[in-house]
Amino acid sequence: MLIELIIDPNLFEFSFNPSFFILLILSLVIYSIQASFEELFFRGYLMQGIGMITQKPVIPLLVTSALFAIGHFFNGSDVFSGVGIVVSMFIFGLTLGIITLAENSLETAMGIHIANNIFVTIIINNTGVFERLPSLLTVGADSSLIIPSFILLPILLFFVLRKNWGKLKILSKKRYKSGKIGKSNQLLCSNCKTMNPGFSNFCMECGEKIYVEYASTGKKTLAFLIDTLFLLFLSVILLIPIIKINLIYPEVSADLLAFMWILLDILLFFLYFMFLDKKGQTLGKILMKIQVVNESDYKTINYKQSLMRNLLLLVDLIPYPLPGILAIIFSAKSPKKQRIGDMAAGTLVIKK
């Protein structure tokens, strides 16, 4: 807010008046009740309930964050601002959910939520969201104050968890029942062909090492960068026929052609990762000598798993101004070097 105030002071208006003190008292009382209830419901009741059903912390984290965000859609004055608020609230809900899981309590999330609501009411009032309030400052609808939401998560997590990053291990945990360890959870020894339990490090028959080595965060990041550069090259190739169509048929809207090109690029990006991850390796993974496998038996993943891990790239690439910071943090701190997409899909990236 301070940066934006320096860049364009005309966006802000000093709107303080004596009614501010009434607003302050009401905010302290009402938001303490309202925000605490939301945390009890979303990060308490729903997260525990869905967690008991799915047995994976990542799934209730994402589901409750999405439900929390959708509920804020009508806070916007139009569809565009509503969607912006949903995106912002999804990231905010994700932040509070991770903190709740890591600390196994709601107190910190409640405090952050209450403080946030009080701030956006008594300090800064956006005329595009609320009616005019006697806040200290009023900002116009053209403000880009939603942007900080994209950098909130890594900064907030750093301050809350900086002394104990090991707390994030809770996000990679999954409860198993002993009866579920069957053939699909077994590993084949390459030496004597004996089947071993999926959690084995050495063959129980001949002692051959069957332990797999997880791919490092650095190797995975380099592999993704190589894939991105390759996809950018393919994107330029896709642009050639679009330009030709524009030259041959000038009456066709340039905006429509640009939209088609962007849509094709998004489709190419998603299908590239989905189908090649199903096979185990993209171009980047081949060069880095790593591959995607099933978490339980280290075999090739199925299309459902590939779809899940690549859909969740939307989350792993947060914050978008510096794509992938969230994925790097999770990969570096999780026991199996998994990003959120891997945790939800039950997949691993290992050295080939």
SS (H, E, C) the chain: CHHHHHHCHHHEEECCCCHHHHHHHHHHHHHHHHHHHHHHHHHHHHHHHHHHHHCCCHHHHHHHHHHHHHCCHHHCCCHHHHHHHHHHHHHHHHHHHHHHHHHCCCHHHHHHHHHHHHHHHHHEEECCCCCCCCCCEEECCCCCCCCCHHHHHHHHHHHHHCCCHHHHHHHHCCCCCHHHCCHHHEEECCCCCCEEECCCCECCCCCCECCCCECCHHHHHHHHHHHHHHHHHHHHHHHHHHHHHHHHCCCCCHHHHHHHHHHHHHHHHHHHHHHHHHHCCCHHHHHHCEEEEECCCCCCCCHHHHHHHHHCHHHHCCCCCCCCHHHHHHHHHCCCCCCHHHHHHCEEEEEC
Examine the domain organization and report whether 157 and 27 are in the same domain: yes
Examine the domain organization and report whether 27 and 86 are in the same domain: yes
Residue 23 lies in a domain: yes
Containing domain of residue 115, as a range? 2-172
Residue 190 lies in a domain: no
> In this predicted structure, what is the pLDDT of residue 229?
93
Q: Amino acid letter at 89? A: M
Examine the domain organization and report whether 149 and 251 are in the same domain: no
Residue 192 lies in a domain: no
Examine the domain organization and report whether 168 and 223 are in the same domain: no
Residue 278 lies in a domain: yes
Examine the domain organization and report whether 222 and 87 are in the same domain: no
Longest Cα–Cα distance in the chain = 83
Examine the domain organization and report whether 166 and 223 are in the same domain: no
Q: Are 301 and 293 in contact (CB under 8 A)?
A: yes
Asked which of 157, 172, 187 is the last residue of a domain, the reply is 172
Asked which of 118, 137, 172 is the last residue of a domain, the reply is 172
Examine the domain organization and report whether 324 and 242 are in the same domain: yes
Q: Are 220 and 349 in contact (CB under 8 A)?
A: yes
Q: Residue 138's beta-bridge partner residues? A: 13, 125
Q: Count up the domains in the chain and report the number.
A: 2
Examine the domain organization and report whether 333 and 224 are in the same domain: yes
Residues 6+ apart with CB under 8 A from 98: 61, 153, 157, 168, 171
Asked which of 172, 199, 230 is the last residue of a domain, the reply is 172
Closest by CA position to 212, among listed 292, 279, 281: 292
Low-confidence ranges of the chain (pLDDT < 50): 175-184
Phi-psi region of 133 (alpha: psi -120 to 50; beta: other; left: phi over 0): beta
| pTM exceeding the 0.85 threshold for the entire prediction | no
Positive or negative torsion for Cα 301, 304, 309, 313: positive
Examine the domain organization and report whether 266 and 152 are in the same domain: no
CA distance 349 to 281: 10
Examine the domain organization and report whether 121 and 224 are in the same domain: no
Residue 330 lies in a domain: yes
Examine the domain organization and report whether 57 and 160 are in the same domain: yes
Residue 307 lies in a domain: yes
CA distance 319 to 329: 12
**Residue appearing with tokens 């999926």:** 198
Examine the domain organization and report whether 330 and 223 are in the same domain: yes
Beta pairing class for 186-188 and 195-197: antiparallel
> In this predicted structure, what is the pLDDT of residue 52?
80
Residue 207 lies in a domain: no
Residue 209 lies in a domain: no
Helix axes 19-38, 107-118, angle to 10 degrees: 150
Q: Are 88 and 145 in contact (CB under 8 A)?
A: no
Q: How far apart are the first and last CA of the chain?
A: 47
CA distance 305 to 118: 41
